[in-house]
Amino acid sequence: MDAALTVRPARAGDAAQMAQVHVRCWQETYRGLMPDAVLDDPGFPAARERFWTVVLTDERYRDNRAAVAERDGEVIGIAMSGPPLEAAAAPARQLHVLYVRAADHGTGAGRTLLEAVIDPAQPAALWVTDPNPRAQAFYRKHGFVADGTTQVDDGVREIRMVRDARHPR
């Protein structure tokens, strides 16, 4: 891990590598929490690539911010924030995606990606899988707290975490 970490805005040409990281991180993170048939679906990588291509090129997503973390020209982490999916949700910014390959946990990539898509002083919300103690601890370290709201998405329990504008750095 000697090579420098670079975090930059995502571009349409990153969609394939972003999809690879997305699928790999789901497999590393959600194995045992969601069906293997979902995680190992041969069409999963292509579906994620289509998703990222749309997010990075379609005007409907112009208010989103997407970033990639690279080491030696290889994408090792991805992040995206945007308006909340729930119409009445506050705050106005939601973290939709933040994944870093397990081999790169603890390198600062997650923090740098988070700060690239949401200003550290900006109020924000996110949904995180429960149980997922590592991710929940990471978000607490960055000022997010569980607000008691839960949901089940595709059979996976999630908790909402929020951060107000005054959180300590």
pLDDT for 86? 73
pLDDT of residue 164 exceeding 90: no
pLDDT at 168 over 70: no
Condensed to tens digits (0 to 9), the pLDDT of residues 103-138 reads 999 999 999 999 999 998 889 999 999 999 999 999
Task: For residue 1, name the pLDDT band (cuts at 50, 70, 90).
Answer: very low
pLDDT at 89: 63
Query: What average pLDDT score do residues 25-43 get?
Result: 92
Identify each DSSP E strand in the chain by its residue range.
5-9, 65-71, 74-82, 94-100, 124-129, 145-153, 156-163
pLDDT (mean) for 33-38: 89
CATH superfamily for 5-120 is: Gcn5-related N-acetyltransferase (GNAT) (3.40.630.30)
Q: What residue spans define the domains of the chain? A: 5-120
